[in-house]
Structure 1
Amino acid sequence: MVRSVLRAEGHDAWAVGHEDRALEAFREINPDVVLLEARLPGMNGFAVCRAIRAESQTPVIFLAARTDTAAVVAGLEAGADDFMAKPPRLSELRARIRVRLRAGIGLAWILTLSDLVIDLNGRTVSRAGRPLRLTPIECDLLAVLARRPGQVLSRRALLEQVWGGDAPFDGRTVNVHVLRLRAKIEPDPRHPVYITAVRGVGYRSDDPTRSSCIEENPS
C-alpha cells in the first residue's frame, strides 16, 4: 500500500522482502530514502541498516510496533535517522520523507541541467555561471524537478513535495510558480527548455543538451 501511494505521487518506489535482496537492491537503485521494517520474516532490519550505514549516508526511516521500544532503540543505534510506528499514517510518512529529502542527506549537493546549476547546500542557482535570484519556494520546486530529469511529476505531487501534505490541492498554485520560475531560469520563457508541461499530467525537467523538449501544454 505504501509503495502504491508513493508511486501515485510521482516517486519511484520499490519493495524488497529479503535481507540479501535488500542490500543488492539498495546498491542497484541508490535510493534517496530507505524505509525499513524492524522485524520481518527473512529480514533483519537492523543488520540491513548497519550495512547501509557502513557505505552510505542515505536516510533510513524505521517502521516498528509502537510498543516495541527495544526495536526502536536498536534501530537508532544501528544508524536509522527516524522512527515511525506501524502501520504508518500516510500523511505523516509523506511529511517525514519530505523532511529527509529537503535536508539533502544522501543526495547530491549539486544538480545540473545543461548549464543550469543548482547548489542544494548553498540554496543558489546559476545559469552559464551567472547567479539567478530565486525565492525559497522556487528553489525547492526546481530542485524537486531537477532530481528526476525526464520524469513527469503531477501537480498534486509537486504541491505536496514543495508546499507540504497539509496544503489544499490547487493546481493553479503550481502553475503560477512554474511560470515565475521559468521567467527567471529560461533563456526564452515563451519557449521553455528546462521545465516543460505534459498535457493533463504535470511538469518535467529536461536537459536541453541531451534531448529536444516540446511544450505540450503551455501554462
Structure 2
Amino acid sequence: MAPVRSYTNWNSRTTDEEEQIEPYRKYFFICEGANTETWYFKKLIDIRKELNIHPLIDIRLLEKTEGDRDISFPRRLIEFAENQKENPEIAFDKERDKMIVVFDGDIFEEKVLDYDELVAEGEKNNILAVSNPAFELFLLLHYKNSYEDDIEPNAEQIIKNEKDGHQTFIYKLLLARTGINPKKNAAIGELAKNIEIAIEQEKKINEDIHQCKGQITCNIGRIIDEIRKDDGK
C-alpha cells in the first residue's frame, strides 16, 4: 500500500502545555482530482473554526501519493477508501469515523452504465459526494447569484459539458467567474470561505445523487453542512 498523507489542523495548539484532545469523530475526504479538490478541502480544513465545526469533530483530507495519485475512476476511489480504513497510520474508527468519496458524475453520462450499482455499493460504508457534471459546478455555486446568472440559463450545455479544445463548458463558466485556472492555481481554494453561499445555492439544484442522471446535481454543500451540525454525540 502506497503511503497516504492525512491533512488536518486538528487541535492546533498555541502552546505545548495545552491538553491534547482526541476527536470524537473524523471525516476523511478522498477526492478524484489531485489539484483543485485538494486546494479547496485544505482551505476548508484551515478555516474549520470559522465554520463553527464542533471542537470534537475533525475533518481531514487523505492525499493520494505515488502510484495511487492518479486514481480517479469512482469505483477505484471507493476501493481506495475501503483500503485506507485498514491503514493504521490514519487510525480510522469504523464505529465512529466517516469516509467521504468525492467524484464527478460526467463519466456516467457518457461512458459508464453502472452508476446506480456503484452508488448502492459505495453508500454501504461511505458517504458519496457527487457533482454532475464536475467539481467546477460546486465551485461555481460559491458565487452569489451564480445559479440564476450562470447555471439555470445554461443548464442544457452544462449537463452536456462538451469540450472546446481542452476546456469543458462548466470549466469555462467557472473560469469566467474566477479569472484563474482552477487546475493550476491554488488560489481556487479560497472559495471555501464562501461555503455559506454554496450551501444555500446548492438547494436550488438537485442534491439527490440517486437522481443524478441527466440532471445538474451536487450534494457536497449539504454534506459539509451536515458535518457542521454534528455535535459529536
TM interval, short-chain normalised: under 0.3
Q: TM-score, normalised by structure 1?
A: 0.25
Q: Which of the pair has the greater relative contact order for Cα pairs under 8 Å at 6+ separation?
A: 2
Q: TM-score, normalised by structure 2?
A: 0.24
Structure of greater Rg: 1
